[in-house]
Structure 1
Amino acid sequence: MKIKAVIFDVDGTVYPNTLMHIMSIPLFIRYGRRLLRLNKARHYLHAHPDEVAKAGVDFLEFQGQLMSQYSHGRYDTATSRRQIEEFRTRWEQIFHKIKPYKHCKESVLALKEAGLKVALFSDFPINPKVGYLGLDGIWDGELCSEDAGALKPDPRGFLAIAQQLNVRPEEVLFVGNSHKYDVEGAKSAGMYTAHLKWGKPVKNSLADITFYGYKSFADLVLNWIASL
């Protein structure tokens, strides 16, 4: 079998983003200014993935440094780090009320039963969120890109989760909802890709598979693998 592992993005891929965004509105209001600084820092880190390694600090520390800069000295790096952690702790609680996409868990288990390794890779911390979604205990690997030192679409995180699974990049099908971050990032790491898409297909898509829901996803993937 050419494909040995199927790796899933989390946010917007194993669960719908819409309800999460609606339920996050009170948090966005409460933490508005610090979230603007956090989003600005994340945007910078997406655009400059080598800066963390050059700085010689871990990802969270560098992110805190950026947020401190953007506060014009009002908050130091340590305080900014605590602000990130406080927001995340509160944000993760909303996942008690969010459910995965219909048939997602069944699809993952079917792929695993077919002999494929299954894993999660996300730009945000995976636990305890996945547990709240009822999807814990079924994965062969999990990795947050922050722990690899670079956000998507930088290939380092994609390569790190493949290494964790002990498979080569060309033996991986990566599943994601973002063409820019998931499909292009996984492709840059040498992986095959499946794009969960709502609405019209992306023009000139790089995805090997485009799908619109999980009802027949496992069969779609297994048939595609058999055709390689």
Structure 2
Amino acid sequence: MIEAVVFDFDGTLVDFVDSDIKSLKHLHSFAEANVSFDEFLETAVDEIMEFHRLVDQRLIDPLLMHRFRLEKTFKRHGMKWDDSALKIYKAELLRTCVPFDGVVDVLVQLRERFKLGLITNAYDGEEQRKRIAFSGLHIYFDEILISGDIGVYKPDPKVFHTLLSRINVAPENAIYIGDSIKYDVAGANSAGMKSVLFSKSSKTLSSEAHFHAHGVEGLETLARELCELA
């Protein structure tokens, strides 16, 4: 019997990629760049991937993510760097953190029948809490866990077990919804939970996931079915 529904945040409830691109474009417009935004964006993507690789190898402090990425991007294009660029980007990242249309209705419906949890793999707990609060979604969750706060990241089952212990629900009585096969589906499965693979627009499928939700419409259907079963 399902007692709790647990969500991923970025890519599942809010569109981080869209928010990031808008924030980078906003920064680019302030920076008097001699490079096109497309080139600027391509470099920024390369640098964030390099940063994650360094974090995985424990060669860099995860909290340096934005500074590392933006400063390296600026310098690769001969742009003058100072900390004001970091402030501009982070402020816009907050402003553009909005839920997918229809997500609030899904959470309201589920909250009537189930405990709700949120697990996000963000490095910087303070910053991520601000983003979650700015999205307005924090009020719907019984428990929010940010991996950077405990130093353990999805797909490690310890992350899932930590949240479930806080809301006093056994893994077999919980379902997890996320957009990553590697981090969300595999992690939830290893923790003994039911897993749902969410895809914003494409109909991504995985034999590892117990269920699939294509777009917010898929979440609405899943929520309705779960409530009916409850």
Report the TM-score when normalising by structure 2.
Answer: 0.70
Counterpart in 2 of 1:79? Answer: none
Secondary structure of 2:137's counterpart equals coil
Change (3 A) 1:19 1:36: closer
The TM-score, its normalising length taken from structure 1, stands at: 0.70
Tell me the C-alpha RMSD between the 2 structures: 3.5
Amino acid in structure 2 at the alignment position of 1:186:
A
Instruction: State the partner residue of 1:15.
Output: 14
In structure 2, how many angstroms separate the alpha carbons of the residues matched to 1:220 and 1:194? 13
Tell me the equivalent position of 1:130: 132
Q: Is residue 4–residue 175 contact of structure 2 (8 Å, CA) maintained in 1? A: yes
Could you report, residue by residue, the CA deviation over 1:41-77 in whole angstroms, capped at 9, with x for unpaired residues?
533545x6xx79xxxxxxxx853699xxxxxxxxxxx
**Change in CA separation of 1:177 and 1:34 when aligned onto 2, cut-off 3 Å:** closer
Change (3 A) 1:11 1:92: farther
Equivalent in the alignment of 1:119: 117
Structure-2 residue corresponding to 1:105: 104
Confirm or deny: 8 A CA contact 2:94 2:130 kept in the other structure: no
Answer yes or no: is 1:43 the counterpart of 2:48.
no
Equivalent position SS for 1:174: strand
Structure 1: gaps of 5 or more residues: 53-60, 67-82
Can you list the C-alpha shifts for 1:82-117, whole angstroms capped at 9, x where unaligned?
x9xx95994364332342112111111111112x11
Please state if 1:178 is matched with 2:177.
no
For 1:218, the equivalent position in structure 2 comes to: 223
1:50-199 to structure 2, matched below 5 A, reads: 62-63=61-62, 87=86, 90-91=89-90, 93-114=92-113, 116-124=114-122, 125=125, 126-197=128-199, 198-199=201-202
The question of whether the paired residues in 1 share the 8 Å contact of 2:24 and 2:89 is answered with no
**1:28 touches 1:35 (CA, 8 Å); kept in 2?**
no
